């Protein structure tokens, strides 16, 4: 059983995500590592998020500068990632994250610790999309329902057989997520609206936090799909995609394909008295 947690936000204002991470770790001495490689201005983004975490009372926050000129596998970073309690990936371009971290010893250590230890892997926007073994990186509006317009590639693989798409409602990304799971029906699509996210526990239990809606697209019961038969630039046809809309207070079980309410005392955003005191 996977011991780590994934916390992913769909983009937009991320104060709710930072507060949630703060409440989940429950300890002002916990070590947080910020990785801003996806950002256009890596240094500026890293420093900004470091300060943001500190404003919420986190006292041990550091930034790993990883980009074209700064390697991931330095002795310092490898040692720090072994000690981290939370790893946070900022938004930007998920292809940059894959380019500079995939295949590194640093990412390998994250994988091992995520399987074996109670570590939190978190991210917003691109930092959320990269978490699964595959990610969507292109596809716009109705064009994404044309074969060849929706594109996927390998992600970080902390969880298998899901696609996480972000800015989902705001940028009209239903088509590309539906296309992705229709093409790969063993995958479940998770569309995150802005200021809305998920916590994935034990690699299976998906619980919602935030103010918006999480869309689940399940192709496991599809009766017909032409996605592997048609030529490039032709539109796709799919019969019987299943869709669920989740808000805070509900969960989706990936392995069982079950939608269910979360008991109030299980809610990921319900704080204990000690947590409220620490986060105030």
State the pLDDT confidence band at 134, using cuts at 50, 70 and 90: very high
What does the alpha-carbon distance between residue 280 and residue 258 come to, in Å, rounded to a whole number? 36
Instruction: Report whether pLDDT(26) > 80.
Output: no
Containing structural domain, residue 201: 132-264
Q: Residue 211: left if φ>0, alpha if ψ -120 to 50, beta else—which one? A: alpha
Query: Which of these three, 73, 101, 126, is where a domain ends?
Result: 126
Query: Which of these three, 102, 126, 150, is where a domain ends?
Result: 126
**What are 81-96's pLDDT values in tens digits?**
999 999 999 999 999 9
How many domains are contained in the chain?
A: 2
Residue pair 146/234 in contact (Cβ under 8 Å)? The answer is yes
Over residues 21-35, mean pLDDT? 84
Residue pair 87/156 in contact (Cβ under 8 Å)? The answer is no
Considering only the C-alpha atoms of the chain, give the largest distance between any 2 of them, rounded to a whole number of Å.
59
pLDDT value at residue 221: 96
Residue 179, both tokens: 């296309």
CB neighbours (10 Å) of residue 206? 23
Over residues 58-76, mean pLDDT? 96
**DSSP structure class, residue 177:** H
State the pLDDT confidence band at 187, using cuts at 50, 70 and 90: very high
Are 53 and 14 in the same domain?
yes
**What are 221-280's pLDDT values in tens digits?**
999 999 999 999 999 999 999 999 999 999 999 999 999 999 876 665 553 333 333 333
pLDDT value at residue 41: 97
Q: Which residues contact 89 (CB under 8 A, 6 or more apart)?
A: 35, 37, 38, 97, 121, 122, 123, 124, 126, 127, 128, 130
Over residues 40-58, mean pLDDT? 94
pLDDT value at residue 24: 72
Residue 14, both tokens: 């991320």
Are 117 and 196 in the same domain?
no
What does the alpha-carbon distance between residue 132 and residue 135 come to, in Å, rounded to a whole number? 7
Q: What is the mean pLDDT of the chain?
A: 93
- Does the residue 218 lie in any domain? yes
pLDDT value at residue 267: 61
**What are 10-22's pLDDT values in tens digits?**
999 999 999 888 8
Q: Which residue has the higher pLDDT, 24 or 155?
A: 155
DSSP code per residue over 185-246 = TTSEEEEEPTTEEEEEETTTEEEEEESS-EEEEE-TT-SEE-TTTSPTTPBP-EE--EEEEE
Which H or E run includes 260?
Answer: strand 258-261
Are 113 and 8 in the same domain?
yes
Instruction: Report whether pLDDT(191) > 90.
Output: yes
What does the alpha-carbon distance between residue 75 and residue 69 come to, in Å, rounded to a whole number? 16
Are 39 and 66 in the same domain?
yes
Are 188 and 90 in the same domain?
no
pLDDT value at residue 278: 32
CATH code for position 11: 3.40.50.880
Which H or E run includes 62?
Answer: strand 60-64
Residue pair 257/168 in contact (Cβ under 8 Å)? The answer is no
pLDDT value at residue 277: 30
Q: Which residue has the higher pLDDT, 58 or 190?
A: 190
Are 109 and 152 in the same domain?
no
- Does the residue 271 lie in any domain? no
Residue 229, both tokens: 């038969």
**DSSP structure class, residue 12:** S
**What are 100-113's pLDDT values in tens digits?**
999 999 999 999 99
DSSP code per residue over 262-277 = PPGGG-TTPPPHHHHH
SS3 73: coil
pLDDT value at residue 83: 97
What does the alpha-carbon distance between residue 145 and residue 107 come to, in Å, rounded to a whole number? 33
């Amino acid at each position: 059983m996977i011991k780590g947690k994934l916390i992913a936000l769909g983009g937009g204002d991320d104060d709710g995500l930072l507060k949630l991470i703060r409440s989940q770790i429950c300890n002002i001495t916990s070590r947080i590592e910020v990785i801003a490689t996806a950002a256009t201005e890596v240094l500026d983004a890293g420093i900004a998020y470091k300060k943001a975490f500190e404003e919420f009372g986190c006292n041990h926050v550091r930034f790993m500068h990883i980009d074209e000129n700064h390697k991931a596998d330095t002795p310092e970073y490898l040692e720090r990632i072994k000690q981290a309690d939370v790893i946070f990936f900022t938004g930007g371009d998920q292809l940059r994250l894959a380019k500079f971290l995939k295949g590194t010893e640093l990412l390998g250590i994250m994988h091992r610790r995520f399987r074996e230890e109670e570590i939190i892997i978190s991210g917003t926007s691109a930092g959320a999309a990269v978490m699964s073994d595959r990610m969507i990186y292109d596809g716009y509006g109705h064009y994404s329902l044309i074969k060849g317009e929706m594109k996927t590639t390998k992600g970080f693989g902390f969880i298998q057989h899901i696609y996480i798409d972000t800015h989902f409602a705001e940028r009209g990304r239903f088509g590309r997520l539906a296309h992705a799971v229709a093409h790969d029906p063993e995958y479940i699509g998770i569309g995150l609206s802005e200021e809305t996210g998920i916590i994935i526990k034990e690699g299976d239990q998906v619980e919602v936090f935030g103010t918006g809606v999480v869309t689940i697209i399940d192709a496991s019961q599809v009766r017909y799909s032409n996605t592997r038969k048609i030529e490039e630039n032709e539109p796709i046809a799919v019969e019987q995609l299943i869709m669920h809309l989740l808000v805070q207070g509900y969960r989706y079980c990936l392995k069982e394909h079950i939608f269910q309410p979360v008991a109030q005392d299980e809610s990921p955003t319900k704080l204990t008295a000690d947590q409220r005191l620490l986060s105030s």
